[in-house]
Amino acid sequence: MTPAENDGASPETRASSRNDENPAPGLTLGADSPLGAEVRSGAQSAAREGSHMIRRIRLDLAYDGSVFSGWAKQPSLVTVEGCLEEAARLVLRHDVRFTVAGRTDAGVHADHQVVHFDVPDSAWEGLAARRGKSGDGQSDTPEQALVRKMNGALARVLSAVAPPLRPGARGAALGAVVVRVARAVPSDFDARFSALSRSYTYRIADGLARQGPLNRTTAYWCREPLDVDVLNAAGERLLGLHDFLSFCKPRPGATTIRDLHSVRFERNDQGLIEARISADAFCHNMVRSIVGSCVLVAQGVRGFEWLDSRIETPARDSSVRLAPPEGLVLESISYPADPNEWGPRARRTRSRRPER
């Protein structure tokens, strides 16, 4: 998805959940791979342990999407989810299944992504028993141990699946995923449905002078300079609660009604245009379609009345431009400040679906 911006929406705008569907196959390390054999051995050992009490774990992470074929597992492709699950199996010696706050497409980055997964309590306790010493000489907490071990396991997984680009390089994707925080959370926390909002940044290098090798995978290269004031005037026309069918790729059984909180374009210190966009949730391709449409207006290809018509008469339309994925970054996921509200928020989000 784009980001695969198809994530949980507010109670007023949510479609029914599709999280219970079976996931696609994960990446394969190969029958002869020592790393693959270790993963299989750990999973088989965990399967023999029998039933246990379940612990829910939240991970906060970041990744460089330029080296992945998106978030979601796909056969024979290197994806963020596939690598993360392989690393978790190495660390926990148990199969895990992740629920993500918002899936992302190939080339889309995340500075703050959130996932949750469930493991037997024995696996969590076993992690604590294997924990090491931190820099101050104190024993790691289970949370600290999980962060340290996950990042170490990710280095192994990414080295195994990414070919070296130069002599001595361990892998093109090494370091492309970093787990920043791990914590045990209440069992009713849901990374997707407990969220209040998502925020994205989209960067545009407009004009040849602002384009360079160091931003080729992190910004949209637009040939001509753009007027930021026109971009903002275009974005403001889309704010509010609307059916965004004109700006997304609909999914079966899912609503395209969303509450767009803000769209703001401004130049950063490097002269790049940054669009900051937030909403309760985003449909598939919605952020990139919004940016692409605003750029069309700023280029003079389309007028404001065309943009208005896309909201007033929602329909799939080839005239809407999809901006490239390279400039898109998932910046943050917002949750209720009170952990006691995580479960009720998730239940409200799941339970209501509007009529078109």
From the list 165, 171, 153, the residue with the least C-alpha distance to 94 is 153
Tokens of 282: 């985003």
Hey, which residues does 185 pair with through a beta bridge?
Answer: 56
What is the C-alpha separation between 261 and 328, in angstroms, rounded? 18
Residue with the two structure tokens 């009170």: 338
Could you give the 3-state DSSP secondary structure of residue 320? coil
Could you give the 3-state DSSP secondary structure of residue 44? helix
**CB 73, CB 122: distance < 8 Å:** no
What is the C-alpha separation between 287 and 293, in angstroms, rounded? 10
Tell me the CB-side half-sphere exposure of residue 95, using CA atoms within 13 A. Answer: 11
What is the C-alpha separation between 106 and 36, in angstroms, rounded? 24
**CB 288, CB 260: distance < 8 Å:** no
Q: State the sign of the Cα–Cα–Cα–Cα dihedral 140, 142, 144, 150.
A: positive
Active site residue 105: yes
Number of helices and strands in the chain (H, E): 8, 10
Catalytic residue among 105, 190, 243, 259: 105
**Which residues have a Cβ under 8 Å from the Cβ of 283 and sit 6 or more positions away?**
5, 6, 244, 247, 248, 249, 250, 251, 254, 256, 258
**CB 11, CB 351: distance < 8 Å:** yes
Active-site amino acid positions: 105
